[in-house]
């Protein structure tokens, strides 16, 4: 008993002060690749090497139309390595969670205005905030992942990330949950279980899709055994890119989903 | 290995021959259907060979047959011996070995489901890899399109074996579990608290991985290999790259081998530390888990410093590793390992000081060494039940042939033994990392990119932190693959869980399950 206490006192507080202070991130961490489309003379090598097809190039009349989908990106950094013109740089940025799947797609050309859709989300957010207040119960559902995302979600419970300091905790049943934190790709064999879990979660509920596979199917994509991203099966409120998203990125996405970001 | 090969060839002189398949660490021989059972029996009983895995491939288009390969190894011999059985399409059957060799039970049924070849004489030939609601398809046949859309899941049709008796009832659990873990279904038959019988149903996370390998260029497939099982990204990635390197005669520079070995050991450490904490939690000692979780974070941070990713992803590549290490990264390695070793010693002392924890772990989830041997259990689960096997020593790869290390083996077969094997392995891993970084060689970190010749076969084995990982590839033109078979150690070890839980109270299931900590995704692929 005394040994346990002694060890505990000696260890002291290890909890990180994120998000009040910036996360402690290694300079080697591969976060969001940033693209300078004006500088990018040839995007084809990057499109060719990208393991998940997150970069697509449409060569129209000598003009390259490039699209980058962060929802497919696994942050391998190869696009920066093969783009000699310095148009792609790997940043340490990880706060990429968003409510709108389309925010994750960058293009070198303009896409039609989509103003006017934000209002629906706003009212839902207010309602969730009214009902749930400041506590949040999360049910995690692995709908087919490789277990990488689960490792990082588990890390949210360790003393360093300590998600319970936000009044957020993981619960054992969807019936106790306000939020489903779903990893993918959604396999054919998990589709029914995911639907049932969603139906069993009381309203109002929030669904967060985690990782490249949860957003788009990632490297697995859509095939005879998978349905792709979580939003192919149930409605998704927030998308958290990463492969896997680091715990701080998960925390950012979860807080975004319940509108608790400062 | 040549001697037992000789014995085999002499035994079946007419019908068995050495195959002219070039390889660096395995020998191939053909065997006839009638001789298979006897050949396997003789290899195992008379020559001490162990059946490592069974795999199939569809060669209808080019050779007009299916092949099934039986991979063997033997202690003290780094070479693998592979028997090849040809199956003409008109006679889509192969002799089942499962009645005598429970280790191949699932693997044979997988071949049934994925290739449509019938395991003749299998004691339980029901579907395993395709769930009961799937139509009659065989996805790994070449004529099956990967993007084929199959009818939606209609509902559960699987019938579990009934468990009857007064007061016996069944508890269904999953596929969505109570914790943050992967999906699978457990059907417990219990009489009061003790578990009588456990039936497993896996493959909920089947995502066409092996088929997908046939559709990706090799440079992309490396990332798929990293996603076979998330906590073994580096081991699976290395196993895959090693298979390609063997197929294409790629010489990996020594510096790359050393970097790989250090990262393989870091993967072992961060997973073992997390498991040690989780085992403590499952018997109520959460303080120990808090310390383990903090320690694991240190290793995740080190992983990020060394590879740019907390789970060691995006580092391994065909020919070596993607990035070399600078001086400050090597210093971070040394400092973290020094600090972490002290923390780890304290964590172990903390757990050992708790009698109540020890009491819960001792004789819990007992796997008898004889059972473990019969079931072909590998890795931590096997070594805790007296099976002295470790790919790092038995089939050295990367820089393991330059290291002297001990393979910790326990005879106890209980959760405590599996915990102890992990503790001892972490200590060995730390010593290995120290030895390697003290003599970090200079030189390139990756071989120059080269075309991988088509039609080459290669087998690669890696001791992941769970146990023996096998990748077998056949290359195709244009730096692509014709076939990639993956065997995660979990495939071998699920039956160990079924065995170990019997007679234990259901409340101890989580800790027994954790003590094996098997990968669902690695099993289901």
B444: exposed, middle or buried (C-beta count within 10 Å: 0-12, 13-18, 19+)? Answer: middle
* The predicted structure's pLDDT at residue A120: 44
Q: What is the interface pTM, i.e. ipTM, of the complex?
A: 0.93
With respect to residue A262, please indicate whether it lies within any of the assigned structural domains.
no
Q: Do A244 and B230 touch (CB under 8 A)?
A: yes
Choose the mutation target among A10, A12, A26, A93 for the interface with B, i.e. most B CBs under 10 Å. Answer: A26
Share of chain A above pLDDT 90, in %: 61
Q: Per-residue pLDDT averaged across B394-413, rounded?
A: 94
Cβ atoms of B320 and B444 within 8 Å: the answer is yes
Residues 122-141 of B with CB under 8 A from A: 131, 137, 139
Domain that holds residue A203: 118-257
For residue B17, name the pLDDT band (cuts at 50, 70, 90).
confident
The arithmetic mean of pLDDT across residues B351-379, rounded, is 93
Is the residue at A2 inside a domain? no
A224/B131 CB distance under 8 A: no
Asked whether residue A221 is assigned to any structural domain, the reply reads yes
Lowest mean pLDDT among A55-69, A82-96, A185-199, A215-229: A55-69
- Predicted local confidence at residue A261, as pLDDT: 64
Domain-located, residue A21: no
Could you give the CA distance from residue B72 to residue B50 in angstroms, rounded to a whole number?
A: 5
In-domain check, residue A17:
no
| Residue B156 vs residue B121, higher pLDDT | B121
- A79-109 pLDDT tens trace: 999 988 888 999 999 999 999 999 999 888 7
pLDDT score at A117: 46
Identify the CATH number of the domain in which residue A227 sits.
Answer: 3.40.50.12280
> Is the model more confident about B195 or about B24?
B195
Which residue in A150, A152, A244 is closest to B182 by CB distance? A150
Pair of tokens at residue B152: 């939606």
| Distance from the first to the final alpha carbon of chain B | 31
pLDDT at B231: 95
Q: Is the pLDDT of residue A115 over 50?
A: no
CA A46, A52, A54: angle at the middle one, nearest 5? 60
Mean pLDDT of B449-467: 95
Domains of chain B, CATH where assigned = 2-120 (3.30.460.80), 209-524 (1.10.645.10)
Does B219 lie at the interface with A, CB-CB under 8 angstroms? yes
Residue A128 lies in a domain: yes
Residue A243 has pLDDT above 90, yes or no: yes
Share of chain B above pLDDT 90, in %: 81
In which band, very low, low, confident or very high, does the pLDDT at A259 lie, cut at 50, 70 and 90? Answer: confident
Tell me how many domains chain A contains: 1
Confidence of residue A118 (pLDDT cuts 50, 70, 90): very low
CA–CA–CA angle B208, B212, B216 (5° rounding)? 165
Q: In angstroms, rounded to a whole number, what is the distance separating the alpha carbons of residues B176 and A200? A: 12
Residue count (chain B): 525
Say yes or no: A180 contacts chain B, CB-CB below 8 A.
no
What's the pLDDT tens digit per position in B123-138? 999 999 999 888 899 9
**pLDDT, mean over chain B:** 92
What pLDDT is attached to residue B341? 93
pLDDT at residue A248 is higher than 50: yes
- Separation CA A176–CA B246 (nearest Å): 52
Kindly state the DSSP code that residue B446 receives in the 8-state scheme.
Answer: B
- Is this structure's pTM higher than 0.80? yes
| Average pLDDT value for residue range A6-15 | 88
């Amino acid at each position: 008993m005394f040994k346990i206490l002694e060890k505990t006192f000696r260890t002291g507080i290890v909890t990180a002060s994120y998000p009040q202070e910036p996360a402690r991130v290694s300079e080697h961490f591969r976060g969001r690749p940033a693209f300078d489309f004006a500088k990018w003379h040839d995007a084809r090598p990057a499109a060719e090497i990208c393991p998940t097809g997150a970069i697509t190039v449409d060569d129209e009349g000598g003009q390259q139309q490039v699209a980058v989908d962060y929802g497919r990106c696994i942050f391998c950094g190869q696009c920066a390595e093969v783009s000699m013109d310095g148009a792609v740089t790997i940043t340490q940025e990880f706060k990429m969670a968003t409510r709108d799947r389309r925010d994750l797609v960058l293009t070198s050309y303009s896409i039609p205005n989509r103003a006017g859709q934000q209002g629906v989300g706003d009212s839902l957010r207010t309602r969730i905030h009214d009902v749930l207040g400041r506590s949040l119960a999360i049910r995690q559902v692995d709908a087919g992942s490789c277990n990488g995302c689960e490792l990082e979600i588990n890390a949210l419970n360790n003393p360093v990330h300590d998600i319970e300091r936000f009044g957020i905790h993981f619960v054992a049943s969807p019936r106790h949950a306000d939020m489903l934190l779903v990893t993918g790709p959604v396999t054919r064999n998990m589709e029914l279980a995911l639907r049932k879990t969603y139906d069993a979660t009381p309203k109002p509920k929030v669904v967060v899709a985690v990782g490249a596979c949860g957003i788009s199917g990632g490297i697995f994509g859509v095939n005879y055994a998978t349905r792709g991203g979580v939003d192919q099966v149930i409605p998704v409120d927030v998308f958290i890119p990463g492969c896997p998203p680091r715990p701080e990125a998960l925390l950012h996405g979860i807080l975004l989903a319940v509108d608790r970001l400062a | 290995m040549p001697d037992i090969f000789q014995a085999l060839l002499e035994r079946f002189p007419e019908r068995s021959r050495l195959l002219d398949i070039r390889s660096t660490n395995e020998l191939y021989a053909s065997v006839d259907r009638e001789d298979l059972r006897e050949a396997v029996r003789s290899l195992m009983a008379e020559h001490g060979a162990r059946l490592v895995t069974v795999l199939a491939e569809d060669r209808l288009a080019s050779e007009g047959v299916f092949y099934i390969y039986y991979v063997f190894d033997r202690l003290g011999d780094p070479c693998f011996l592979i028997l090849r059985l040809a199956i003409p399409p008109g006679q889509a059957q192969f002799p089942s070995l499962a009645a005598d060799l429970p280790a191949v039970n699932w693997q044979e049924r997988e071949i049934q489901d994925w290739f449509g070849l019938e395991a003749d004489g299998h004691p339980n030939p029901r579907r395993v890899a395709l769930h009961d609601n799937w139509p009659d398809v065989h996805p790994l046949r070449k004529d099956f399109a990967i993007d084929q859309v199959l009818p939606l899941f209609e509902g559960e049709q699987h019938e579990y074996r009934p468990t009857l008796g007064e007061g016996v009832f069944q508890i269904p659990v999953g596929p969505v579990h109570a914790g943050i873990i992967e999906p699978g279904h457990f059907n417990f038959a219990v009489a009061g608290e003790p578990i009588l019988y456990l039936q497993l149903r896996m493959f909920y996370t089947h995502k066409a991985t092996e088929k997908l390998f046939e559709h990706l260029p090799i440079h992309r497939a490396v990332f798929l290999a990293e996603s076979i099982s998330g906590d073994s990204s580096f081991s699976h990635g290395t196993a895959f790259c090693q298979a390609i390197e063997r197929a294409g005669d790629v010489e990996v520079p020594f510096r790359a081998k050393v970097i790989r070995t250090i990262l393989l050991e870091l993967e072992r450490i961060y997973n073992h530390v997390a498991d040690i904490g989780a085992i403590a939690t499952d018997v109520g000692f959460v303080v120990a888990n808090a310390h383990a979780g903090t320690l694991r974070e240190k290793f995740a941070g080190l992983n990020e410093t060394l590879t740019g990713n907390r789970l060691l992803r995006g580092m391994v590549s065909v020919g070596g590793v993607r990035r070399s290490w600078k001086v400050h990264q090597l210093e971070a390695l040394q400092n973290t390992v020094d600090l972490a070793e002290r923390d780890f010693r304290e964590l172990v002392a903390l757990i050992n000081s708790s009698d109540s924890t020890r009491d819960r772990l001792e004789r819990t989830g007992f796997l008898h060494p004889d059972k473990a041997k019969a079931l072909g259990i590998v890795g931590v689960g096997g070594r805790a039940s007296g099976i002295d096997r470790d790919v790092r020593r038995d089939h050295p790869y990367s820089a393991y042939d330059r290291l002297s290390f001990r393979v910790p083996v326990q005879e106890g077969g209980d959760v405590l033994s599996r915990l102890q094997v992990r503790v001892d392995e972490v200590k060995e891993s730390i010593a290995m990392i120290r030895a390697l970084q003290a003599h970090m060689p200079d030189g390139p970190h990756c071989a120059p990119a080269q075309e991988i010749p088509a039609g080459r076969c290669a087998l690669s084995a890696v001791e992941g932190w769970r146990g023996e990982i096998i990748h077998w590839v056949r290359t195709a033109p244009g730096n692509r693959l014709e076939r990639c078979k993956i065997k995660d150690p979990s495939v071998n070890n699920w039956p160990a869980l079924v065995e170990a839980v019997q007679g234990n109270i259901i409340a101890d299931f989580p800790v027994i399950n954790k003590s094996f900590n098997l990968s669902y995704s690695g099993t289901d692929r």
